[in-house]
């Protein structure tokens, strides 16, 4: 029998401890000793680690494995401010692919269709309202994946106004409207290349609007009824290359929505920074991605949702078979990518049907672990690997000197299974303590 009174008392003590640490960090450095630290960089967890941090940044990290003198920051203090031997700390998570203008949780198509009839102001209000729950999931950084309503750009501008300062919401950057061809997939989140006289002019326009990077819609989407990408790619490798070159000349990264072998090939040959989705990728293409240092964001979540909710989606046995085959192949390619040394980043495609923001990324991490990655490999894909590859303006994704003090504390070991990140935890974020229970309401996400 569960002793609820004891559990509630323990949770209250934990909450008071982290509230105290957060408050102290606003006035002086805080020294905490934890049982385990996952720093987002090393290929193993560090035991009995010490962290010294202020509200704005981490000052130093030490462990029996990597001894560092913390004295310069804690002069005159002989004991930590908190001893947390049963706790693991890791960086706040990076969501590498989300559409913040969309509600992801609903799976009713009529409801989703009506949602898209809102004004830009309504989209923005809905997106702003998501931040507290996203942060409670442990997500501290988001790479928005595009919208034509200016929602991502507005949120990114708000984040930039807090650059280097204490913030209350996750860091975000955005490509603004994705680039696609008129009459092809993507009109709900992009603007067509045909609006401009040249690819260079198109890229320049996006950047003048405030885009942090360039999003390309190289292909259409999967036809679940046939289990394939039926349409030809909407961008050739030469066209992708021209847009990539125009972006590189302005020191901007590119990321490409691409599924289907032919379209993925065009994205790779064009030299994008990351391939998004990548369903039906081949081993040979993964080798090319490794050699060209192109990272992969596999986004299991939206397809897994179609399988998990097949009855509600109206899929028959044949379609269910297609979905299972797609996911099985995707899992095999994920493990092959790991074997070949391809950089893997975690992104959920939150905002897609049935993929809620924040919680969708936690589900994505579980899908990646189920597919065959180790828990630590999955965690690195959502922390240090993403942060290093995507080169955000804020130093995030690592627990190391000079990085933002944005950390998840949990007594449920994520190296045992990443599903433990769905359990009770506390996020320390820029001098605030944010507690999250296991029963997070996903409405509005």
Output the pTM of the full model: 0.96
Q: State the architecture of 4-91+399-436 in CATH terms.
A: Roll (2.30)
List the pLDDT tens digit at each of the 445 positions of the chain.
Answer: 555 555 677 778 888 999 999 999 999 999 999 999 999 999 999 999 999 999 999 999 998 888 888 888 888 898 999 999 999 999 999 999 999 999 998 888 888 888 889 999 999 999 999 999 999 999 999 999 999 999 999 999 999 999 999 999 999 999 999 999 999 999 999 999 999 999 999 999 999 999 999 999 999 999 999 999 999 999 999 999 999 999 999 999 999 999 999 999 999 999 999 999 999 999 999 999 999 999 999 999 999 999 999 999 999 999 999 999 999 999 999 999 999 999 999 999 999 999 999 999 999 999 999 999 999 999 999 999 999 999 999 999 999 999 999 999 999 999 999 999 999 999 999 999 999 988 888 888 8
d(Cα 75, Cα 84) in Å, to the nearest integer?
Answer: 21
Hunting for tokens 């913030």 — which residue is that? 167
> What is the CATH topology of the domain spanning 93-390?
TIM Barrel (3.20.20)
Q: Where in the chain is the domain with CATH 2.30.40.10?
A: 4-91+399-436
DSSP string over 22-76: HHHHTTS-EEEEEEEE--SSSSSPEEEEEEEE-SS-EEEEE-SSS----TTTSTT
Q: Which residues pair with 277 in a beta bridge?
A: 258
User: What is the predicted pLDDT for the residue at 51?
Assistant: 97
Backbone angles phi, psi at 98, to 5 degrees: -150, 145
In Å, how far are 52, 66, 243, 305 from 381, measured between CA atoms?
Answer: 25, 23, 27, 21
With a CB cutoff of 8 Å and minimum separation 6, the contacts of 42 are none
Q: Where in the chain is the domain with CATH 3.20.20.140?
A: 93-390
Do 73 and 52 meet the contact criterion of CB atoms below 8 Å apart?
Answer: yes
């Amino acid at each position: 029998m569960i002793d609820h009174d004891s559990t509630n008392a323990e949770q209250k003590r934990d909450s008071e401890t982290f509230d105290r640490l957060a408050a102290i960090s606003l006035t002086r450095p805080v020294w905490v000793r934890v049982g385990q630290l996952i720093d987002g960089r090393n290929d193993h967890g560090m035991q009995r680690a010490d962290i010294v941090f202020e509200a704005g940044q981490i000052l130093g990290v030490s462990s029996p494995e990597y001894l560092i003198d913390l004295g310069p920051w804690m002069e005159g203090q002989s004991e930590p401010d908190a001893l947390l031997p049963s706790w693991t700390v890791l960086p706040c998570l990076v969501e590498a692919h989300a559409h913040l203008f969309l509600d992801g949780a609903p799976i009713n198509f009529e409801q989703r269709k009506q949602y898209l009839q809102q004004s830009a102001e309504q989209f923005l209000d809905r997106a702003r309202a998501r931040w507290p729950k996203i942060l409670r999931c442990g997500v501290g950084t988001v790479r928005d994946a595009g919208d034509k309503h200016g929602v991502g750009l507005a949120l990114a501008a708000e984040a930039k106004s807090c650059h280097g300062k204490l913030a209350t919401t996750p860091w975000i950057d955005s490509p603004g409207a994705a680039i696609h061809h008129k009459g092809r997939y993507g009109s709900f989140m992009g603007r067509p290349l045909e609006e401009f006289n040249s690819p260079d002019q198109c890229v320049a326009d996006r950047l003048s609007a405030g885009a942090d990077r360039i999003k390309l819609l190289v292909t259409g989407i999967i036809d679940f009824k046939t289990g394939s990408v039926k349409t030809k790619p909407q961008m050739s490798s030469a066209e992708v290359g021209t847009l990539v070159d125009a972006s590189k000349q302005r020191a901007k990264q590119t990321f490409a929505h691409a599924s289907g072998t032919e379209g993925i090939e065009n994205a790779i040959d064009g030299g994008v920074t990351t391939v998004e989705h990548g369903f039906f990728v081949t081993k040979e293409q993964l080798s090319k991605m490794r050699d060209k240092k192109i990272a992969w964001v596999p986004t299991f979540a939206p397809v897994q949702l179609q399988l998990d909710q097949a009855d509600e989606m109206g899929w028959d046995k044949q379609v269910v078979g297609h979905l299972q085959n797609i996911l099985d192949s995707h899992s095999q390619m994920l493990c092959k990518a790991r074997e070949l040394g391809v950089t893997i980043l975690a992104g959920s495609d939150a905002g897609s049907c049935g993929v809620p923001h924040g919680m969708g990324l936690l589900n994505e991490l579980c899908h990646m672990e189920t597919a065959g990655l180790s828990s630590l490999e999955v965690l690195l894909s959502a922390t240090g690997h993403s942060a290093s590859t995507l080169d955000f303006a804020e130093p995030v994704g690592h627990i190391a000197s000079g990085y933002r003090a944005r950390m998840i504390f949990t007594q449920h070991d994520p190296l045992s299974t990443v599903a433990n990140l769905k359990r009770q935890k506390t996020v320390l974020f820029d001098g605030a303590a944010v507690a999250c229970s296991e029963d997070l309401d996903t409405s509005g996400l």
